């Protein structure tokens, strides 16, 4: 027989060293090591483990929604996107979770009024197994030292090992091995709901929302800083537990003050009152139980099986069977039909609330828009005032300019007086335009602007600016860089501009065009007067100087020509005087004609500019009054509201299809 080789142990040691002692940054180790043959079983095991690496909590994991629920699931997703402001998102998320499984978990809330003592006792009686001894969870359920400010979630499961570290949760979770929870596929939230105070009772009805019952806020464990956060816990149904007639009356006041928009929400809330030693019949809306009698019966059967009859009598007399029946009917495990009843009721209530909320929002916006509109009498008065303003303004324009052209100051600028009054043209024109061009109309604009402001209309005008543009430096136009200080100075002094793409030279260029910013009506006439006066003074002064210079030039030229004629033709004084007279007469005639043309242009320009300003102010005022008399809704808001309504309507159709 061949002796065993001693190199095998050393090879195993080498493999062990190579496997654990290597440089992580070296990438050649994996490529240089030869692949060792592995068995098929090991290979299949490795493949199987690799296929289950991804967790169900991955971000990109898809929801396994049943095929018959998929369209409704997508419709509710659209509701969450487009109508998130009109629905309770936590309850909507619970509805979506109910559609992700064929057997969804039903969440039921057992709420005590201000305290949890009675609620915990009833939950313990509902979940306890009479044929088993008292479990640790029962003692924990009725522990008086439990913090009543926090909620408790009861789920089916085995109690965790106390020797192992317990997972931290925002809300305490109690695992209960109860057949009721397993059979009904249910989890129970035990918490409290505050009763109404005296101040809230005086405010009247509808001061509480249904979310206080169907999405109660549960306090988280107190942090080291003493801060406690409330978390909304949506449920399908709620059991409101009271103790005694006093708490029952408080619960009735609380329900009466709740604005149940959807009928499904009111049906999902059941009132239970714990009355000990009473035989009163319960109305249909209230369940009456006797927790003490039920606890006596449970203790009796746990002492001995022979006391089963005593347990049965006490259990039936305590009213607990009706409570168990309600709990079973609230479960989705017993539902028959295309969609579980609790999930269907939850979705229906959500869609009803969304529809009512959208209707209320639309009505509120309509009332707000109607309040901002003008009344018929106000509109009539404003339109009459605008008509009177227009008529008075045109009359003042004609009479004011007519008196200005016949005034003494204007006669100072006669054509033959330009020789010694050429420097007074600017002062005289400024005085005439300031005192004769719409002074009373400007004051009337102030008055009418005040009346518009009183009616809720902003008296603003959009001026017609001259689109004097300066080409913006582009890639082909720049010859040298602009200095930073000069750029800042231009930005600080130039009017606001906006870039505009133009094509004038065969290529696209960007030009900076002044922005038309709205200005108050009160400054429209003064701004127009100042701008036109500057242009008129500059133009007429330059024209007067040119006319005087031309006249003197022609007169001097004719005098020189006459002197030349006198020298060339001896003794021809008559001919020389004739040339001087004709030249001077022609110069004065031309001077008169040019000046009359310039003054007539000024008169027509002022008249046309005045009519243009009046028409623009009157037209803008009429537009503002007309716009203020209409209800103008924002297109974005209208579109978003229409999309939300369509999403809710589609979800309602998909829900009706599954009936």
Q: Does 521 have pLDDT greater than 80?
A: no
pLDDT-based confidence at residue 543 (cuts at 50, 70, 90): confident
Over residues 439-445, the mean pLDDT reads 85
- In DSSP terms, 110 is beta-bridged to 190, 239
DSSP letter string over 113-172? ES-SHHHHHHHHHHH--TTSPPPHHHHHHT-TTS-TTB-EEEEESPPPPTTSPPPP-SS-
Q: Which two tokens stand for residue 581?
A: 């007279």
Torsion of CA 215, 652, 65, 87, to 10 degrees: -30
Over residues 227-232, the mean pLDDT reads 78
φ, ψ for residue 286 (rounded to 5)? -130, 135
Q: Which residues contact 200 (CB under 8 A, 6 or more apart)?
A: 207, 257
Q: Is 592 exposed, middle or buried (0-12, 13-18, 19+ CB in 10 A)?
A: middle
Q: Does 475 have pLDDT greater than 50?
A: no
**pLDDT value, residue 598:** 85
Which of 212, 224, 211, 219 lies closest to 170 in space, CA to CA?
219
Summarize the chain as % helix, strand, coil (round to 5).
60, 10, 30
Q: What is the pLDDT of residues 269-288, one digit of tens each?
A: 999 999 887 666 656 678 99
Q: Which residue has the higher pLDDT, 211 or 283?
A: 211
Q: Does 6 have pLDDT greater than 50?
A: no
Over residues 289-316, the mean pLDDT reads 91
Residue 257, SS3? Answer: coil
Q: Which residue has the higher pLDDT, 21 or 301?
A: 301
């Amino acid at each position: 027989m061949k002796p065993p080789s001693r190199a095998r142990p050393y090879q195993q040691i080498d493999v062990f060293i190579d496997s654990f002692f290597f440089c992580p940054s070296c990438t050649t180790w994996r490529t240089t090591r030869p692949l060792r043959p592995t068995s098929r079983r090991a290979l299949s095991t490795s493949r199987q483990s690799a296929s289950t690496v991804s967790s169900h909590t991955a971000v990109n994991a898809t929801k396994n929604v049943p095929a018959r629920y998929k369209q409704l699931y997508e419709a509710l997703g659209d509701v969450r996107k487009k109508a998130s402001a009109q629905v309770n998102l936590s309850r909507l998320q619970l509805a979506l979770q109910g559609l992700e499984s064929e057997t969804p978990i039903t969440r039921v809330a057992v709420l005590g009024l201000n305290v949890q003592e009675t609620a915990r006792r009833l939950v313990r009686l509902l979940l306890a197994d009479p044929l088993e001894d008292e479990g640790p969870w029962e003692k924990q359920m009725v522990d008086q030292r439990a913090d009543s400010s926090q909620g408790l979630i009861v789920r089916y499961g085995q109690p965790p090992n106390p020797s192992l570290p317990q997972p931290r949760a925002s809300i305490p979770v109690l695992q209960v091995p109860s057949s009721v929870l397993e059979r009904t596929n249910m989890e129970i939230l035990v918490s409290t709901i505050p009763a109404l105070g005296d101040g809230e009772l005086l405010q009247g009805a509808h001061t509480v929302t249904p979310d206080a019952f169907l999405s109660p806020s549960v306090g988280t464990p107190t942090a080291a800083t003493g801060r406690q956060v409330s978390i909304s816990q949506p449920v399908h149904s709620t059991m409101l537990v009271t103790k005694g007639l006093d708490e029952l009356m408080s619960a009735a006041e609380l329900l009466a003050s709740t604005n149940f928009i959807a009928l499904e929400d009111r049906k999902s809330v059941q009132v239970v009152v714990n009355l000990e030693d009473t035989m009163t019949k319960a109305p249909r809306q209230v369940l009456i139980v006797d927790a003490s009698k039920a606890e006596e019966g449970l203790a009796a059967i746990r002492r001995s099986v022979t006391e089963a009859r005593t347990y049965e009598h006490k259990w039936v007399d305590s009213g607990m069977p009706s409570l168990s029946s309600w709990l079973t009917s609230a479960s989705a495990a017993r539902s028959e039909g295309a969609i579980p009843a609790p999930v269907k009721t939850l979705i229906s209530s959500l869609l009803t609330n969304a529809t009512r909320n959208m209707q209320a929002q639309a009505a509120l916006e309509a009332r707000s828009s109607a309040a901002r509109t003008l009344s018929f009498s106000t509109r009539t008065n404003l339109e009459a005032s605008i008509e009177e303003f227009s008529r008075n303004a045109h009359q003042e324009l004609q009479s004011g300019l007519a008196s200005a052209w016949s005034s003494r100051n204007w006669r100072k600028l006669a054509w033959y007086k330009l020789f010694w009054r050429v420097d007074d043209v600017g002062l005289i024109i400024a005085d005439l335009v300031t005192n004769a061009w719409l002074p009373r109309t400007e004051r009337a604009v102030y008055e009418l602007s005040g009346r518009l402001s009183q009616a809720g209309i902003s008296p603003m005008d959009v001026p017609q600016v001259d689109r004097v543009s300066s080409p913006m430096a582009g890639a082909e136009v720049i010859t040298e860089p602009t200095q930073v200080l000069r750029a800042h100075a231009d930005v600080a002094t130039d009017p606001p501009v906006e870039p505009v793409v133009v094509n004038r030279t065969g290529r696209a260029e960007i030009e900076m065009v002044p922005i038309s910013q709205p200005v108050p009506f009160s400054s429209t006439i003064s701004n127009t007067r100042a701008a036109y006066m500057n242009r008129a003074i500059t133009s007429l002064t330059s024209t007067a100087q040119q006319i005087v210079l031309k006249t003197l030039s022609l007169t001097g030229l004719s005098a020189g020509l006459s002197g030349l004629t006198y020298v060339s033709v001896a003794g021809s004084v008559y001919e020389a005087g004739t040339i001087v007279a004709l030249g001077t007469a022609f110069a004065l005639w031309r001077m008169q004609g040019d000046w009359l043309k310039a003054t007539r242009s000024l008169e027509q320009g002022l008249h046309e500019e005045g009519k243009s300003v009046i028409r623009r102010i009157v037209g803008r005022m009429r537009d503002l009054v007309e716009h203020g008399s209409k209800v103008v809704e924002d297109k974005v808001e209208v579109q978003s509201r229409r999309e939300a309504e369509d999403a809710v309507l589609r979800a309602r159709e998909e829900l009706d299809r599954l009936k």
